[in-house]
Structure 1
Amino acid sequence: MSMDNRKRPTGSSNSGNMVYWSSSFPRQPARVLIVETLPPRWSETCTVICEALDNFLSLACSLEGPCRVPLLSLYAISKQQECLLPFVQVRGNLARLRSCVEELRSIPGDGCVRGVARGGELLRQAVLDSMQQFKQYTRHTSTGNQANNHPYMEATVVTTQPGRSVVRQLEMGLKDADLASLKRLLVVQIENEADWGQENPPPEEEHIESEEGLMLGTEIDLQRVENSAFAMETVFKAWLHEQGGDREHLHLLLPSSLDTPVPVCLKCDMQERLISPALIPLSPNLGVKTESVRDFLPSTKGTTNQSIAPQRLKVIKTLRADGVCESVLYGLPLVIRPSTCWKMDWDEMESNHNLFHALCHTLRSRELFLLLQVEPTQRSTAGGSGVFSHYILQPSPTLSLLMKPVASRELLLPCSLPVSTQDPAPDALQVVQRCLTQLDEEFVFNPLTLSSNLYQHLRSRTLLSQPRYPYSMQPAAAKRDQSQPLEGTKNTGSRQPRQPRNQGRTVGANSKVRATVAPFPSSSSHTFSSFSSMGPPPAKASRPPLTLLSSGSAVRRAPAPTQQHQENENDEPMVIQ
Structure 2
Amino acid sequence: MAGNLKKMEGTRMLLGKQPARILLVDTSYPLFTFRELVNDLCQTLENVFSVATNIGGPSRMPFFSLMSLTQYPELLLPLSHVKNNYSRIQTSITDLYDGIHDKGQSQTEGRGCIVQGIQEACAHFHRQMKTMVPQTGGLCNQLEIILLTCQQGQRVQKQIDEAIMLMNLENVKRIQVVVFNLGIDYPICEESEIVGSQNSLVSNISNNSSLSGGLVDIVNLEADALSLQNFFNSWLLDSSTESEHLHIILPALVNDEKNVVIKCDLRERILNPAQLPFYGNFTVHPDSATMKTFPSTSKALGMSIPIYKIKILGLLSSQDLCDSIVYGMPMIALATNCWKIDWDDLEKNQQLFKALCYKLVEKDQVLIGELENPVSNRSRTDQEVKPNGSFVFLPAPNGTLLVKSIAVQELLLPCQTGTSLDGATEESLDLISSSLHQVEEFDSYNPLMTSSGLYQCLKNKNKKPEPKQQKRKTENNTNREVLISSSKYSSNIQMTGKAPRASPVSTSVKRLRPLLNIFPTDL
TM-score, normalised relative to structure 1: 0.71
Q: CA 1:361–1:296 in structure 2 vs 1: closer, same or farther (change >3 Å)?
A: farther
The correspondence for 1:66, drawn from 58, 65, 69, is: 58
What do residues 453-475 of structure 1 show as CA deviations (whole Å, max 9, x unaligned)? 1122223333364546989xxxx
Distance 2:13 2:318 in 1: 37
1:526 aligns with 2:492: no
* 1:164 positional shift: 3.1
Q: CA 1:121–1:358 in structure 2 vs 1: closer, same or farther (change >3 Å)?
A: same
Alignment partner, residue 172 of structure 1 = 162
Q: CA 1:69–1:357 in structure 2 vs 1: closer, same or farther (change >3 Å)?
A: same
* 1:402 positional shift: 0.8
Instruction: Write the letter of the residue equivalent to 2:478.
Output: H
Alignment partner, residue 332 of structure 2 = 335
1:266 aligns with 2:259: no
* 1:260 positional shift: 3.8
Alignment partner, residue 399 of structure 1 = 399
Alignment partner, residue 31 of structure 1 = 21
Q: CA 1:68–1:555 in structure 2 vs 1: closer, same or farther (change >3 Å)?
A: farther
Q: Determine what percentage of the aligned residue pairs are the same residue.
A: 26
What do residues 78-127 of structure 1 show as CA deviations (whole Å, max 9, x unaligned)? 33322211111112221111111111111244855243xx6443112111
The correspondence for 1:113, drawn from 83, 103, 106, is: 106
Aligned ranges 1:117-516 → 2 under 5 Å = 119-143=110-134, 146-192=136-182, 201-202=198-199, 204-212=203-211, 214-215=212-213, 219-282=215-278, 284=280, 287-288=281-282, 294-295=288-289, 310-379=307-376, 382-418=382-418, 420=420, 422=422, 424-463=424-463, 465=465, 467=467
Q: CA RMSD in A?
A: 3.8
- Give yes or no for contact 2:29–2:110 (8 Å, CA) kept in 1: no
What do residues 481-538 of structure 1 show as CA deviations (whole Å, max 9, x unaligned)? xxxxxxxxxxxxxxxxxxxxxxxxxxxxxxxxxxxxxxxx9968738979x99xxxxx
Instruction: Write the letter of the residue equivalent to 1:190.
Output: F
SS at structure 2 position matched to 1:125: helix
Aligned length: 464
Alignment partner, residue 188 of structure 2 = none
Instruction: Write the letter of the residue equivalent to 2:179.
Output: Q
- Give yes or no for contact 1:469–1:554 (8 Å, CA) kept in 2: no
- Give yes or no for contact 2:285–2:331 (8 Å, CA) kept in 1: no
Aligned ranges 1:554-573 → 2 under 5 Å = none
1:84 aligns with 2:73: no
SS at structure 1 position matched to 2:144: strand
Structure 1, unaligned stretches of length 5 or more?
Answer: 9-21, 472-520, 534-548, 559-577
Structure 2, unaligned stretches of length 5 or more?
Answer: 1-7, 186-190, 486-513
TM-score, normalised relative to structure 2: 0.78
* 1:349 positional shift: 2.3
- Give yes or no for contact 2:16–2:242 (8 Å, CA) kept in 1: no
Alignment partner, residue 101 of structure 1 = 93
Moved more, 177-186 or 373-382: 373-382
Instruction: Write the letter of the residue equivalent to 1:85.
Output: L
Distance 1:114 1:445 in 2: 65
Distance 1:220 1:229 in 2: 25
* 1:261 positional shift: 4.1
SS at structure 2 position matched to 1:68: coil
* 1:149 positional shift: 3.0
Q: CA 1:290–1:38 in structure 2 vs 1: closer, same or farther (change >3 Å)?
A: farther
Instruction: Write the letter of the residue equivalent to 1:33.
Output: L
SS at structure 2 position matched to 1:392: strand
- Give yes or no for contact 1:70–1:91 (8 Å, CA) kept in 2: yes
Greater fraction of residues in helix: 2
Instruction: Write the letter of the residue equivalent to 1:526.
Output: T
Distance 1:178 1:297 in 2: 51
Q: CA 1:192–1:367 in structure 2 vs 1: closer, same or farther (change >3 Å)?
A: farther
* 1:296 positional shift: 6.9
Distance 2:183 2:452 in 1: 53
- Give yes or no for contact 1:467–1:556 (8 Å, CA) kept in 2: no
* 1:24 positional shift: 3.7
Moved more, 93-102 or 158-167: 158-167
- Give yes or no for contact 2:17–2:139 (8 Å, CA) kept in 1: yes
